[in-house]
Structure formats: structure tokens, C-alpha cells
Chain A
Amino acid sequence: MGNIIPLHGNPHSTTQELLPWYVNGTLDAHERQIVDEHLLVCAECRAELESESRMANAFARLADEALPGPPARLPVPKARAGRTRWPFRTTAAPVRFALIAASQLLIVAASIGLYANLATSTASDYHALSAPAAPRPAGNVIAVFRPDVSEQILRATLRLAGARIVDGPTTADAYVLAVSPDRVDAAVASLRAQPSVVLVQPIGTDKSR
């Protein structure tokens, strides 16, 4: 009974209805397929997806900020234990994140140049037997995401930018993305604008090839 799909509406209204859970990654495979297929043909729903992704980003950011829950004072389970006071303190997550992000920035900034050289030097040595005419999509953007980013936000971010992951994580936890060569600047701008992205940088694509 858990797999009943709400088909009383058309794909458009179903998609509109399901987008929040499409973005948070909790739809089942069949529902995702309905939404995926409809998004391909409906500009209105693609715009709505963008809006929904922004909303999810806004909430994700809000969650990072100090919106405190009630203080963590563990109740004393009287019936099954003695009177003890347990001094719990919540961890300062934003501080932790800032330290991680800062260390990642240093590592990645140092390794981007190295990776760009590596990518161009190895690409020319590689030939796919099955695809002689169409070159494999080479990575042309490198990006680092926040360490605590959720899969659904990551997915929405990549979709918005029209980017696909083609390599990574590197030793510096960076990902190599492929975007259409004529959309690199737009994709970089889109990624750079996302709170879920710590760092984004185009890497050496040889357009004359």
C-alpha cells in the first residue's frame, strides 16, 4: 500500500505538488520518474523547481544559523535511575564548519592549478574505443561543496547550473564538473551564487581542440 501514486492529477499538478519532496530527495523511484519526465517538457515546473531549490537553500542556511532548540537538559529518568544531572552541551556547529571550510579552501586553492595541468595532460593520452567521434565530456569546472551539504541540495544545485560530476572527490574533497562549453561562465556564476558551494573555479579547457 505504500506505493500508491497520486495520479488523480495530471503530471503537471502532481509535479507541482511533489517538488518539495523531489528536492529533499524522499520521493520513491516511480514518483521521481514522473517528476523527471515532466520537468523535461514543462518550463513552468522547471522555474518552480528553481524557486523550490532556493527555498530549500534558504531553509538549509537558516538551519545553520543559531536558531536554538530548547536547552539540552536531560530529564532524570526517576523510575529507572538515580538522580543524576547530566551536563550536556550542544556542539558549536557553525564554528566547526568554519574551521573545516577554511582548511578546505587552503588545500583546494593550492591544488586547483595542479589538477588543471593534470587534467589537460592526461586527457590527450586517453582514447575511448567506443566513442571515436564524440569526445568524452571532460571536466571544465572544479567545485568544493560545503561538508554538510545534503544530497538533495547538491543535486538541485547541479541541476540549476546544468552541471554533472565527472570526477572526484579529489584528495582535497573537490569535484570536477562538466558543463556545456558555451555555458561555463553561466554555470560558474550559478554555482558561485549557491550557499552550498564553498569554492568554484573553471579549469583549463582547450577550446581549440
Chain B
Amino acid sequence: MTQDPRREGETGAAGGDLRLLALLRAGHLSAFESLYRLYQPRLGRFVLHLVRRAGTAEEVVNDTMMVLWNKPDSFQGQSKLSTWLFAIAYRKAIRARLGEDEPVDDSVVPELPDEEAVPDRDFARKRAATLLRAAIDDLSPDHRAVVHLTYFQGASYREIADIMGCPTDTVKTRMFHARRHLKQKLDGELADWL
């Protein structure tokens, strides 16, 4: 089976990751710094969709990155480094979520902007964005994780199965239900995106 040509770009990115990882293993703090810069925003947004509270998300992301720093050899190259990091973050986020007793912090969802001086089209889009965020928040954490990894991280369903530690069919089923939910919630509103 020939390699999918679209994977070549990923190989480049993954190759960069592995070079940085080799430096990190040798104790170069600057390599950790670079990997942190690369992954903190991506992991942060992913985790924030799972635990909802910014403080908890920050802890989870930093704990995840500290696994990379303290135990770099536990990454054995059987997947992409990104998949490995997301899998750690996912497990930590699920555990952290169990400790979140307080109600959801609504401040995570940005408020609608000041309506004055906002063109109608922009306003409609902001409104649609707010509805979409609310619809995502209504999903169960597992469904939210699949949605996030697919749409925000551009992950394949096989990578998502690796990250979440579940069969690929489960990923597809979760996506099916999640899409149905999102469509119901956004009935008609998605037209505002076009």
C-alpha cells in the first residue's frame, strides 16, 4: 500500500517534533519551550472543551507537557507525538473533570459583543458563533472531544480512536450523534455562515 501523499506534510511536522524531542531528551530546555509553544494552544483549547474551567484546563495542559519533560522516553514513537500528547491530555482532562464539582463557568463562553456599530452580517455571524459554542457545550464530554478533534484539530477518526482509547466505530457513532445534535440546535442558523 502506498503512502497517502497528503501525509507528507504531516511527516514534515512530525519530523520537526521528533527532532525537538531528541533535543529535549538530551535536556535542552529550549526544545521543551518550542514544543510547549507548539502544543499549548492546541491542547489548551481541546482541554477547555472538556473541563470548561480555564484554571483546570491550564493545570491539565501543564501536567501533560510535564509528562513530556519528565518522561520523554515513555513516548515510543508508535503514533505521532501530537496523538500521544492529546491522549495524555484527554485522560487527565477526564480525571480532572470528575473533580470539578462547581457549576460550569459561563465566563468561558464569550459574551455577545456590543451590538452598537456592528454591521448586521457581522452580528448574525457572532450570534451564530455563540449558538454554535452553546451547542458544543451541550454535548457530552466524549462527543465534544470527537467534535473538537475533528473540526478544530483536523484529526482522522483513527487518530481520535487512539487518543480516546476506543474503537474507530465508537468514534463514528459519537460523531453521528454529535452532528445530529449540532444540526438540531443550529437549525437554520448555519445559513448565517454563508
Q: Tell me how many residues of B have a C-beta within 8 Å of chain A.
A: 56
Q: Which of B71-111 contact A (CB under 8 A)?
A: 110
Q: Assuming the A-B contacts A67-B110, A69-B45, A71-B54, are A77 and B69 also in contact, with contact meaning beta carbons closer than 8 angstroms in the complex?
A: yes
* Complexed CA–CA distance, A105 and B57 (Å): 38
Q: Which of B1-57 contact A (CB under 8 A)?
A: 1, 4, 6, 27, 29, 32-33, 36-37, 40-45, 47-48, 54-55, 57
Query: Residue B128 at the A interface, CB < 8 A?
Result: yes
Query: Residue A129 at the B interface, CB < 8 A?
Result: no
Query: Residue A47 at the B interface, CB < 8 A?
Result: no
**Chain A 81-119: CB-based contact to B (< 8 A → 1; otherwise 0):** 100001010100000000000000000000000000000
Q: Assuming the A-B contacts A72-B40, A90-B41, are A79 and B70 also in contact, with contact meaning beta carbons closer than 8 angstroms in the complex?
A: yes
Q: Which of A142-171 contact B (CB under 8 A)?
A: 150-152
Chain A residues with Cβ below 8 Å from B125 are 61
Q: Is A62 a contact partner of B110 (Cβ separation < 8 A)? A: no
* Complexed CA–CA distance, A71 and B70 (Å): 22
Q: Is B152 a contact partner of A63 (Cβ separation < 8 A)? A: yes
Chain A residues with Cβ below 8 Å from B117 are none
Query: Residue A57 at the B interface, CB < 8 A?
Result: yes
Q: Is B154 a contact partner of A150 (Cβ separation < 8 A)? A: yes
Nearest-Cβ distance from residue B32 to partner chain A, whole angstroms: 6
Q: Is B69 a contact partner of A55 (Cβ separation < 8 A)? A: no
Nearest-Cβ distance from residue A186 to partner chain B, whole angstroms: 13
Q: Which residue of A lies closest to B46 (CB)?
A: A69
Q: Is A20 a contact partner of B133 (Cβ separation < 8 A)? A: no
Q: Is B6 a contact partner of A25 (Cβ separation < 8 A)? A: yes
Query: Residue A28 at the B interface, CB < 8 A?
Result: yes
Q: Is B150 a contact partner of A58 (Cβ separation < 8 A)? A: no
Nearest-Cβ distance from residue B48 to partner chain A, whole angstroms: 6
Q: Which residue of A lies closest to B61 (CB)?
A: A70
Q: Assuming the A-B contacts A27-B156, A73-B58, are A193 and B194 also in contact, with contact meaning beta carbons closer than 8 angstroms in the complex?
A: yes
Q: Is A70 a contact partner of B47 (Cβ separation < 8 A)? A: yes
Q: Which residue of A lies closest to B156 (CB)?
A: A26
Among A58, A60, A71, A152, the residue within 8 A (CB) of B190 is A58
Q: Is B132 a contact partner of A58 (Cβ separation < 8 A)? A: yes
* Complexed CA–CA distance, A2 and B158 (Å): 8
Instruction: Please give the residue numbers on chain A whose beta carbons come within 8 Å of chain B beta carbons, in ascending order.
Output: 2-3, 6, 16-18, 20-21, 24-29, 51-52, 54-63, 65-75, 77, 79-81, 86, 88, 90, 150-152, 193-195
6 A-B pairs with CB atoms under 8 Å apart are A25-B154, A68-B48, A72-B44, A79-B70, A86-B33, A194-B194
Which 4 residue pairs of A and B lie closest in terms of their CB atoms, listed nearest first?
A69-B44, A26-B156, A70-B58, A59-B151
